[in-house]
Amino acid sequence: MQDARFTPRVFSGIKPSGGLTLGNYLGAIKRFVEMQGQEFETIYCVVDLHAITVWQDPAELRAATREVAAGFLASGIDPERSILFNQSQVSQHAELAWILNCVARLGWMNRMTQFKEKAGKNAEAQSLGLYAYPSLMAADILLYHATHVPVGEDQKQHVELTRDIAAKFNHDYKVDFFPMTLPVIEGPAMRVMNLRDGTKKMSKSGESDMERINMTDDAHTIARKFQKARTDAAPLPETVEELDGRPEARNLVEIYAALAGITPAEVLARHPGAGWGQFKPALAELAVEKLSPISGEMARMMNDPAEIDRILARGAERARGIAAPILDRTLEIVGMVRG
Ligand code: TRP
């Protein structure tokens, strides 16, 4: 249930670690664009402080931050209608994160499956920041009293943690200050899988470039990657149910559906019994048609980084306008002496 005391406000973020993929576009950015409008105030953030929880080369981090910003803008995020900025320019994120570190419990953090997956057997060698990552994410959200957070399924647990932190803060300080933020998981967004292994998410940091479509890939590269995408030998089935147990086939059908704005069932109806030799080129053609205007615009913007930096700085200023009073009030509630 939506908390009626708070302005409907959307916050979401993308980490600038590596370039943007088709997964970021179909699973996140496309929906971020659709949420711009009367219903919500929309705040989108390039979460550079999150990126450095694992080592990033400074020059690559700067380039990736601008590329993610360019990807947002080229896809249709309007910097007037939305607030678009990079996290580190609004120092209130880190300040609120500290307060929330003192609210979150170790037992809660220990349950975070993403940390366990990322740390693997080597948890001792991970940064303290990677462990505290979900509490910084809670700060991102609560700093704006965001009511809705569009995220992928893998981030749902972090939004639930955000609610736990907000509830404990409100309870411990006997206030009704932070909202109970809702994750927005359903809707047109989808989970795009790896082209070489349909059981893994398409990731910008996976080893092989052939397993993902980058938003900056040219037409030839996109065609080659779909051509080489792993599939089973069977042709497209007649029904969506028959995609069960065929993760690679399902992924390509779902990518087609998301790009075309139709359902997977409609994809199967349009390509009855098609073999991969037919379907893959059709998919590549559609992907090029949809992505090339975006990648062209991204390339144009990346040639003028000063313009991107100006947009981010202006967004950060607007973000601070919302964040500063909320952090000030938080510090007051907690009992910090304010001059
Ligand atoms: N953790 C998110 C991810 O990996 C990125 C993120 C950081 C985020 N802060 C956020 C998403 C706040 C939504 C809201 O995808």
Beta bridge partners of 182: 148
Question: Which strand (E) or helix (H) includes residue 14?
Answer: strand 9-14
Do both 295 and 310 map to the same domain? no
- Whether the CB-CB separation of 80 and 32 falls below 8 Å is answered with no
Query: Are residues 278 and 312 located together in one domain of the fold?
Result: no
Closest to 16 measured CA to CA, from 224, 207, 205: 205
In a domain, 202, yes or no: no
Q: What is the CATH number of the domain that holds 265?
A: 1.10.240.10
Q: Are residues 158 and 180 in the same domain?
A: yes
**Same structural domain for residues 55 and 105?**
yes
Q: Would residue 3 count as lying in a domain?
A: no
Are 83 and 21 contained in the same domain? yes
User: What is the rounded CA–CA span in Å between residue 190 and residue 254?
Assistant: 8
Claim to verify: residue 44 and residue 108 sit in the same structural domain: yes
In a domain, 339, yes or no: no
Any domain includes 199: no
Cα atoms found within 13 Å of the Cα of residue 59, Cβ hemisphere only: 0
Angstrom CA distances, 250 to 102, 199, 241, 305, stand at 44, 10, 10, 38
Residue 42: per-residue pLDDT: 98
Give distance in angstroms: CA of 236 to centre of ligand 1. 35
240 CA → ligand 1 middle, Å: 31
Question: Can you give the CATH number for the domain in which 51 is found?
Answer: 3.40.50.620
Q: Are residues 167 and 291 in the same domain?
A: no
**Which residue CA neighbors atom 13 of ligand 1 most closely?**
12
What pTM does this model have?
Answer: 0.93
Domain membership of residue 41 (yes or no) is yes
Res 80: pLDDT: 96
Residues 129 and 230 occupy one common structural domain: no
Ramachandran region, residue 145 (left: φ > 0; alpha: ψ -120 to 50; beta: rest): left
In a domain, 314, yes or no: yes
Pocket lined around ligand 1, Cβ cut-off 6 Å: 11-13, 15, 47, 50, 137, 140-141, 149, 151, 155, 158
- In this structure, the answer to whether residues 60 and 90 fall within a common structural domain is yes
Expressed as residue numbers, the domain containing 247 is: 209-300
Examine residue 204 and state whether it is found in any structural domain, yes or no: no
How far apart CA 21 and CA 27 sit, in angstroms, is: 10
Q: Distances in Å between the alpha carbon of 90 and those of 48, 195, 218, 323?
A: 11, 37, 35, 8
Average pLDDT across each block of 10 residues of the chain; the chain has 339 residues. List them in order.
81 94 93 91 98 97 98 97 98 98 98 94 94 98 97 93 98 98 77 92 86 94 95 95 95 95 95 95 96 95 97 98 98 96
Q: Which residues pair with 21 in a beta bridge?
A: 214
- Asked if 204 is an active-site residue, the reply is yes
Res 207: pLDDT = 81
Residue 198 lies in a domain: no
Adjacency order of strands within the sheet including 9-14: 82-86, 41-46, 9-14, 148-150, 182-184
Task: Say how many domains are in the chain.
Answer: 2
Clarify whether residues 292 and 311 are in a common domain. Answer: no
Catalytic status, residue 200: no
- Do 139 and 282 share a domain, yes or no? no
Report the pLDDT value the prediction gives residue 2, as an integer from 0 to 100.
60
pLDDT for residue 3? 67
Any bridge partners for residue 214, and if so which? 21
Say how far apart CA 281 and CA 64 lie, in whole Å.
30
Instruction: DSSP letter for 272, please.
Output: T
Q: Give the helix/strand (H/E) hosting 182.
A: strand 182-184
Q: Do 215 and 175 lie in a common domain?
A: no
